[in-house]
Amino acid sequence: MKRIAVLASGYGSNFQAIIDRVRDGAIPARIIRLITDNPGAYSIERAVDAGIEVCAIDFRSFGTRSDYDQKLEQAMDETGADLFVLAGYMRLLNDKTAAKFAGKMINIHPSLLPSFTGLHAQKQAIDYGVKVAGCTVHFVDEGMDSGPIILQRVVDVEETDDENLLVKKIMEHEHQALPYAVQLFCEDRLSINGRHVHIRPKDE
């Protein structure tokens, strides 16, 4: 059974979606640790309620970014996790950490990558006037939201949609897409070839 560690910074609704799918048996894995940079994150309560170990590394308590990065990498190493899931983790990993865990770290982003990377992707989409938006689950590499794409989900953008409404519409799909990508990884059904991620049929 695979061992999963989750990195989250805030409310943790995507984290909860993974917890629920592990609990109901859809994801054949065990969540062994939540790592957060925010000791006030509601994600911590979700972890405690689910009996998951919490490691809070307060970003604000470090004098330099490199000191924080070193402590984060150490905390990730200690887990021995097969998969790291970035579920609303709001800090870029440094190149060294991204390379070290290449192929075993995935992220959810609220846009159809490669469009609208970075923060406030939903607002970027509204401002640009797109007719469709969505979310992307991808492997993490050294770039910003630039790793090989595992899967995407699409929503229509109506003329009456504002940023808040689009956030809600996309989030409904995030809560399905991220756990499914985690499931595929834990079932050993994903393989990476350059920029392409191949999903093997379940009975292959």
Domain 2-199: give its CATH architecture. 3-Layer(aba) Sandwich (3.40)
Token pair recorded at residue 117: 């990377």
Judge whether 109 counts as a catalytic residue: yes
Q: Which of 109, 138, 173, 175 is catalytic?
A: 109
pLDDT for residue 203: 76
Burial (CB count <10 Å: 0-12, 13-18, 19+), residue 5: buried
pLDDT for residue 202: 83
Q: Going by C-beta distance under 8 Å and a sequence separation of 6 or more, which residues neighbour residue 156?
A: 131, 132
Hey, what's the torsion of the CAs at 48, 51, 55, 59, to 10 degrees? Answer: -30
Q: How far apart are CA 167 and CA 158, in angstroms?
A: 13
pTM value is 0.95
- Per-residue pLDDT tens, the chain, 204 aa: give them: 999 999 999 999 999 999 999 999 999 999 999 999 999 999 999 999 999 999 999 999 999 999 999 999 999 999 999 999 999 999 999 999 999 999 999 999 999 999 999 999 999 999 999 999 999 999 999 989 999 999 999 999 999 999 999 999 999 999 999 999 999 999 999 999 999 999 999 876
